[in-house]
Every structure is written in structure tokens, then in C-alpha cells.
Structure 1
Amino acid sequence: MKLRHILFTMALAVTCSSKVFAADDVLRVATDATFPPFEYVDNGKRTGFDVEMVEALGKAMGKKVEWTDIDFKGLIPAVLSKRVDVAASAIYITDERLKAVNFTHPYYTGGLAIMVKADNTSIKEPADLNGKKVSVQVGTKSVQFLTENYPKVARVEVEKNDQMFELMKIGRADAAVTGKPAALLYAKANPSVKVLDKTLTVERYGFALRKDDKALTEEMNKALEKVRADGTYAALVTKYFGTSK
């Protein structure tokens, strides 16, 4: 009986250690796949710049990537609760977010842009937003930016990125404020809308991690350096944005 107990304990230890090893070998990542060209679903498959970037980083780190789909506003809470290790969803690095999480080095630079109907003549520059209905996605910097800088804007807050565009397109909102790359892509496929040349802000995108996960943050930063050096990064930028950067 004693020998059986010892063997059982040893087997349990091996099993537990293998589970720990498996966990170390996996990168759990959350995204809101409704924001092309960064993350979206095409023919039932999750894809986009962020998705391919994370897969490339996982490969460079020797880790398998496991994806979880979460609404944008729930991404950072999912990281903080340890449901996932990383949030990758075109997330701007902001002072407010840095109070809660760490970010990798910036991997892309964008900014907030204004989208309106192509025949709109009342909104020609950012100042024209005052007094207008503007659709924004909950949990994004667009909400905070308009609140602080354009208090006279009537914000129409929605859960999903595509809802924000649709409200503007059908006239229930006068404009939409979102990231410029996504706005340009949508406008390219929908000639009935346009993106104003003047952006509202310049922003840096980063992957969000827990503050106590410094080792993983450093590992991801090294992987970022590697994919930049080997040409993977430039190829993905060209694929999704049309120019290398």
C-alpha cells in the first residue's frame, strides 16, 4: 500500500509538471475580431494584422497561440483576471490604461480619424463635430477623447465596430470616430463614405499584459525585434496597409 501511494504521488507530480509545462508553452490571447484590418473573421476564420502578428510572435517564442473572442471593453479585465495572458486588439497605449496593465513596445502607429458620408458638407474639419451626433465604440479612446475635447458632441455609443459604421452610413449619426486604418479600409469598400484628411490624434498600438508578467512582456518585446529584423513585420504591414513601415 505504501509503495502504491508513493507511485501514485510520483505519477501525480509528473502529470502536474507536464500541465505546467504545457501552460508555459501556450500564449492565451484575447481579441475582439470585429475591427478590420487589425482583427476580423473571414470565411469563418479569425485573421488580420494583429492576428498574424501575434501568431508570428508566438512562433518566434516557441509558443502555441490560443485565441479567445471578447468584446473590446472586456479585453483588459480578461487580462487582469488571468483569463488570458495578452490582449491584442488594436489597443492604444494610453496613460489611463498604463495604470492597470503593461504594454509591449509599440508595434504600429495610427490615430483617431473622422468618417462621414461622402456627400456630407457640414463636417469638413474636427471643430465641425460640435453639436453633431457621433458614433463611437464603447471602451475605446474615441469615447474619452470626445468627452474631454468635444463636450458638445452627442456621442452615440455602440458595442461593436460595425454598428458604429452602420449608424453613420444610414444617417443615424453624422460621423464616426475610430482608428484611421480601419476607417480607410471601410471607406475603400464603401464609396458612400469618406475619411477626413486631418486626424484627431496620433496613437501607438501595443499588446496589453499584466503588470506582474514582466518576463512575458520582455519575451514578447524580443520576439517583436526578431520579426522586425527578419522581414515578417514589414511583409504584414504591406499586406494589410499597403505600405511598409
Structure 2
Amino acid sequence: MTIPFHKPTQLLAVIMIGSMILCACATPPPAVIEADPGLLRVGVSPDAPPLIFKQNDEVSGLEADMAAALADHLAKKAVFVEVPWEDQIPALLDNRTDTIMSGMSITLPRQHMIAFSKPYFKSGLMILVKDLHKFTFITNRETAFAQSITWRIGVVKGTTGEAFIRQKSTGAKAIRAFSNQDEALQALMAGRIDGFVHDAPIVLMMAAQHQTAGIRPLPIMLNDEHLAWGMRKDAPGLVEAVNAFIDQAKRNGTMQTTIKRWIPLAE
């Protein structure tokens, strides 16, 4: 499933509508949950709407919906373990969580450390800017890379956005890594950076929420990424069960329905 970005204004409108849909999700448990055969401990960093975030003090979003459905498929109870993004893989490897369901992209370095499920969603990176009219000449990724030598680019530490920009925009005026997307957004709004590179669904949601401040996405994709769920390599049975769930959810249409609830124009 992919996201088309040729109609940014329409997309922002439906993303805003989608963000208003409530989902009944499990209440986050205490920070440390012991392993239990009846529990699926789901590692989340709930600061990335529409994928995973807090709504009315509950963990919500696309990943939260899928976690609840996955747990039901496994005859387990889903409990959300809130983990800082940079601690997601260490928490999994330390057996503090059973799976990462927090908008994680498949990358080779991550594959060396953990096992991934089959991809469930095709996404990519986008650039969030202030005052879109200043960037109308950016029509494709090539012109974006060429122009980046004049930009101060913001990224979130430890994300594929940071790795991508450090590789592709070595001539950037500055690359500034933030602890989370909210810090990057504040820097963009204050004019301390010229663009913020992050996952497309999150960029679109941020743009929808801050339209009145002139925050807009550039309507281009910088790359292709595949989102999946992370598990320990010493848990092959869980990986197989999760893959079976993904196959079933795609066959019966529940995967597409859930994705469209949170990202309405996904194809």
C-alpha cells in the first residue's frame, strides 16, 4: 500500500478528518512489564501521529489499531510499553518488549540486530517547510538534493530520515538532529531550520495540524521505505505468527481498512 502525494491540499484535508477518528485502545501499562505468555508487550514511541500517538491519554493511531488486532489474532492481550525512539531496539533485545510497532522502517543495519515482519505499508520521506511559496521550484527529489546546499535541515535522531539526509545531503548548509519531531517543528516554525525531513504520514499530519502557521509539505517523495514490525531473532515462532496475521489481514481487507482510517488517501 502506497501514499500518492500529487494532491497535497486535498490530502491535508482528509488527513485532518482522519486524525479526528477515535480508536479505543489499551491504556499504557507501567514502564516495566514482565514477559507473560498471555501478553503482547508492544514497544511504542507515541509521538508520531497518525502512526502512533496519545489521544485522550490513550495510545492511538494506525499502529495501535494493528497491535490490538494482532494481539487478538494471537489470543493475547496487547499492552503498550512507552519507549523513547532511540531505545526501541535495546528494549526489544533486553526482553522489555515483544515487538516494536511504532512506524519503524526496514533497514539493513536494523536487520542485523532484529527480525522484521513482512512489510505492511509502503511509505517514504518528505520535507516539511514553512511558507511553501518559497519552494515552488522544487519539483522532484533531484532539485531538492541540489538545493539542499543552502538549507539548514532538521531530522530526528536515530531515524531513517537522519541517515538518509546525512548520506544524500552531505553539502547541506547544516544538519540539525533533534530528540523528537515536536522539537524539530518548533525549530521550523521559529526559522531556525529551513526544512524538516521525516516519514511521509507524520509530515502530512503535522502539516494538517499547523496549516495556519504556514507549515506545508513539499509534494515530493525523497525515497521509498517499507514499514514493518520488529521482533527478536530468537523468537521465530512469533515472527511466523505475525506474518500469518499480516497475510490474513491483507486477504480479508482489514489491513487496508485500518490504514485508510488513519491515512485516507493511501492506495
The TM-score, its normalising length taken from structure 1, stands at 0.87
> Of the candidates 232, 236, 246, which is equivalent to residue 210 of structure 1?
232
Alignment pair present for 1:219 and 2:237: no
Q: Which moved more, 1:219-228 or 1:34-43?
A: 219-228
Q: State the structure with more CA Rg.
A: 1
- Hey, what does 2:11 align to over in structure 1? none
Gaps of at least 5 residues in structure 1 are: 1-19
- Runs of 4+ that moved beyond 6 A: none
| Matches of 1:157 and 1:186, distance apart in 2 | 18
Q: Percent identity?
A: 24
8 Å CA contact 1:71–1:159 kept in 2: the answer is no
> Which whole-Å deviations, capped at 9, do the CAs of 1:154-207 have from their partners, x for residues lacking one?
111111122112211221111000011111121122221111122111000010
Where does residue 158 of structure 1 map in the other structure?
Answer: 178
After TM superposition, the structure 1 = structure 2 runs for residues 177-192 of structure 1, keeping only pairs within 5 Å, are 177-191=197-211, 192=214
Identify which range, 166-175 or 28-37, moves more after superposition. Answer: 166-175
CA shift at 1:74, angstroms?
A: 0.6
Q: Do the aligned partners of 1:108 and 1:205 also contact (CA within 8 Å) in 2?
A: yes
Q: CA RMSD in A?
A: 1.7
Letter in 2 for 1:223: F
1:73 paired with 2:92, answer no
Report whether the alignment pairs 1:126 with 2:144.
Answer: yes
* Residue 174 (structure 1) aligned to one of 194, 197, 209: 194
Task: State the AA in 1 paired with 2:162.
Answer: V
Q: Which runs of 5+ in 2 are unaligned?
A: 1-33
Work out which of the residue numbers 22, 44, 62 in structure 1 matches 2:57: 44
Matched, 1:195 2:217: yes
1:120 Cα offset (Å): 5.2
Name the aligned partner's letter for residue 238 of structure 1. Answer: K
One-letter amino acid of the structure 2 residue matched with residue 155 of structure 1: I
Q: Deviations over 1:6-45 (max 9, x none)?
A: xxxxxxxxxxxxxx9x811211111100000000001111
TM-score (normalised: structure 2): 0.80
Kept in 1: contact 2:132–2:218 (CA 8 A): no
Partners of 2:44 and 2:100 within 8 A in 1: yes
> Is the contact between residue 137 and residue 159 of structure 1 (CA under 8 Å) also seen in structure 2?
yes
> Residues of 2 paired with 1:205 and 1:227: CA distance?
15
Q: What is the CA–CA distance in structure 1 between the aligned matches of 2:240 and 2:149, rounded to whole Å?
A: 43
Query: Which residue of structure 1 lines up, in the alignment, with residue 159 of structure 2?
Result: 140
Which of 60, 78, 81 matches 2:73? 60
SS in 1 for 2:43: strand
Provide, for residues 122-168 of structure 1, a one-character-per-residue CA deviation record: whole Å limited to 9, x for no partner: 57242212232111111101111111111122111111122112211
- For residue 119 of structure 1, report the CA deviation from its aligned partner: 4.1
